[in-house]
Structure 1
Amino acid sequence: MIAKYISRTLLYAVLLIAALFFLAPFYVMLATSLKDAAQIRSGNLLSLPTSINFDAWGLAWSSACTGVDCRGLQPYFWNSVTMAVPAVLLSTAWGAINGYVLSLWKFKGSELLFGFLLFGVFMPFQVVLLPMSQVLGFLNLSSSIGGLVLVHCLAGMAGTTLFFRNYYTAIPRELVNAARIDGAGFWRIFWRIVLPLSTPILMVTLIWQFTNIWNDFLFGVAFSGADSKPITVGLNNMANTSSSVKSYNVDMAAAVIAGLPTMLVYVLAGQYFVKGLTAGAVKG
């Protein structure tokens, strides 16, 4: 009994240390963003603010300079929202249909096709920058939010297909066969039988895709234009904008603002993410 108590105490201690280690950067960013310049100069990174000051947040949102543009992160934030929402929904729907076909409507060569799709999961995105830029130019989508949506849908197709295909292989084929005997077709089976069983994997894929797309910097800096840059590019430009006095509190506030949407997603829907994974989202 004592050994069990000691082992549990050690386990909690290790978990607590790990949590503190990973939360330390967030604490530094949040604490620094609430300080004014005098507190930053007189204190250290780990010191608490002597008084709460939200001026840096207002500057980061609406008036801090990113290069020669002094509108803060606000336009970049809304660019990311306009890009991420349709890209997440479209890539998730695309993956669901692909996974449905490759698991429950197999055809000759479907396993080979799935194998080729898996290459997209492990392929470094740097190798597609040049051909993707040529495709966007051909479609007249260069330097636009629509082009970024298309890029993220294509980049996420392999991963979302893998998630849904592996999840749908656990659905008894007898359900599909019985529905086909009753006269149900491809889309009716998908909407009436498969999709209602897909809530766990839908949550996993939506959260996964939103995190990847919102936090992406490579595609954002490579394929965006002056009016379509996402928030990651805006944050980088703000941090690298030279001035006579470096405003660390503004930079930290901007970093917290950029990370808030993904943090909120995990706080509000994190339990569904864990349930989806344990329900078989990555098995197979």
Structure 2
Amino acid sequence: MVESMPGVKQRPLMRAVVYVPLILTAIYFLLPLIVMLLTSVKTMDEIRAGNLLSLPATLTFEPWAKAWDKMGGTFTNSFMIVVPAVAISTAVGAFNGFVLTKWRFRGSELLFGMLLVGCFIPFQVILLPMARTLGLLGLAGTTGGLILVHVIYGLAFTTLFFRNFYVAVPDELVKAARIDGAGFFTIFWRIILPLSGPIIVVSVIWQFTQIWNDFLFGVVYSSGETQPITVALNNLVNTSTGVKEYNVDMAAALLAALPTLVVYILAGKHFVAGLTAGAVKG
């Protein structure tokens, strides 16, 4: 007992060694967000006269109102793009993952390898071929066309997620169901999907953040009233006419980032849990 006392006394010191760097790192990464938030509720006169980290002398939400007035429509556009694109790519990815792991066919490994290559294709490589395809389909410059682009590009990732998760599902479950007379779709809907909650969360979070934050596809394949919020934010911040309103720019940036922040705050732990759920084959 006497020998253990020094170790007990050292615990606060050891905790400080661990937590102090973590707290400093968190402050470092949160500092830009704090500056943006403080700037967005200040008047322009105060921004010009004060420093970045000073609290607002006069709290104002007029910059937020202006930002919403200029970007509110594109905020809705982004949701109209994100919701169906996430739902379709997740559903098809789950179907693909099931086929590639539990209902294999000749050439399935080659097909999976080809899909895997899709995860490493840069956005820029598919710009011209996809623009040509959308033109032939009559979807150029439309919300439907942008949804199709995100579904196609996201399928490689969602298929990879579900395939790796379903590898850990025992094959005996599928074999037993087939012996009992269950068919392809019955096994998928009643056995596989009920087990897929963790990886569905991963796919939804991944696709939501990727599609919501996308700028390149949005600026290339949309126009006018179909533009997503990232394109509108770029147009607002980079405008060269009128007085530069930094408080409005910061409010607009926070509005654009708000949905992804909410998603990660509410479901971040489920994202990590879902990624590791299929890491070890049971």
Q: Shorter-normalised TM-score: what interval? A: over 0.9
Structure 1 residue aligned with 2:133: 135
Distance, in Å, in 2 between the alignment partners of 1:261 and 1:99 is 28
Distance, in Å, in 2 between the alignment partners of 1:3 and 1:122 is 48
Structure 2 residue aligned with 1:208: 206
Q: Tell me by how many angstroms 1:281 deviates.
A: 6.4
Alignment match of 2:150 (pick from 145, 149, 152): 152
RMSD: 1.4
Is contact 2:67-2:249 (8 Å) kept?
yes
Structure 2 residue aligned with 1:55: 62
Distance, in Å, in 1 between the alignment partners of 2:54 and 2:279 is 42
Q: CA offsets, 1:218-254, max 9 Å, x none?
A: 1000100112100000000000112342100000000
Q: Relative to structure 1, is the Cα distance of residues 40 and 119 closer, same or farther in structure 2, using a 3 angstrom cutoff? A: same
Distance, in Å, in 2 between the alignment partners of 1:172 and 1:153 is 29
Is contact 1:221-1:229 (8 Å) kept?
yes
Alignment match of 1:46 (pick from 34, 48, 53): 53
Asked whether 1:222 is paired with 2:229, we answer: no
How many residues align? The count is 274
Alignment match of 1:112 (pick from 86, 107, 110): 110
**Residue ranges of structure 2 left out of the alignment (5+ in a row):** 1-6
Distance, in Å, in 2 between the alignment partners of 1:97 and 1:14 is 44
Q: CA offsets, 1:73-118, max 9 Å, x none?
A: 0111111011000000001011100111001111111111111111
Distance, in Å, in 1 between the alignment partners of 2:182 and 2:115 is 29
Q: Which amino acid counterpart does residue 275 of structure 1 have in structure 2?
A: A
Is contact 2:131-2:221 (8 Å) kept?
yes
Distance, in Å, in 2 between the alignment partners of 1:102 and 1:151 is 23
Q: CA offsets, 1:32-82, max 9 Å, x none?
A: 0000111101111121212321000000111xxxxxxxxx00111111011
Structure 1 residue aligned with 2:19: 12
Structure 2 residue aligned with 1:239: 237
Q: CA offsets, 1:189-214, max 9 Å, x none?
A: 01100000000000011011000000
SS in 2 for 1:15: helix
Q: Tell me by how many angstroms 1:121 deviates.
A: 0.6
Matches within 5 A, 1:189-200: 189-200=187-198
Identity of aligned residues (%): 59
Distance, in Å, in 2 between the alignment partners of 1:187 and 1:5 is 57
Matches within 5 A, 1:242-261: 242-261=240-259
TM-score (norm: length of structure 2): 0.94
Distance, in Å, in 2 between the alignment partners of 1:176 and 1:137 is 43
Is contact 1:35-1:49 (8 Å) kept?
yes
Q: Relative to structure 1, is the Cα distance of residues 8 and 221 closer, same or farther in structure 2, using a 3 angstrom cutoff? A: same
SS in 1 for 2:225: coil
Structure 2 residue aligned with 1:25: 32
Distance, in Å, in 2 between the alignment partners of 1:49 and 1:281 is 48
Is contact 1:201-1:281 (8 Å) kept?
no
Larger radius of gyration: 2
Distance, in Å, in 1 between the alignment partners of 2:99 and 2:200 is 16
Q: Relative to structure 1, is the Cα distance of residues 183 and 259 closer, same or farther in structure 2, using a 3 angstrom cutoff? A: same
**Residue ranges of structure 1 left out of the alignment (5+ in a row):** 63-71
Q: Relative to structure 1, is the Cα distance of residues 136 and 17 closer, same or farther in structure 2, using a 3 angstrom cutoff? A: same
TM-score (norm: length of structure 1): 0.93
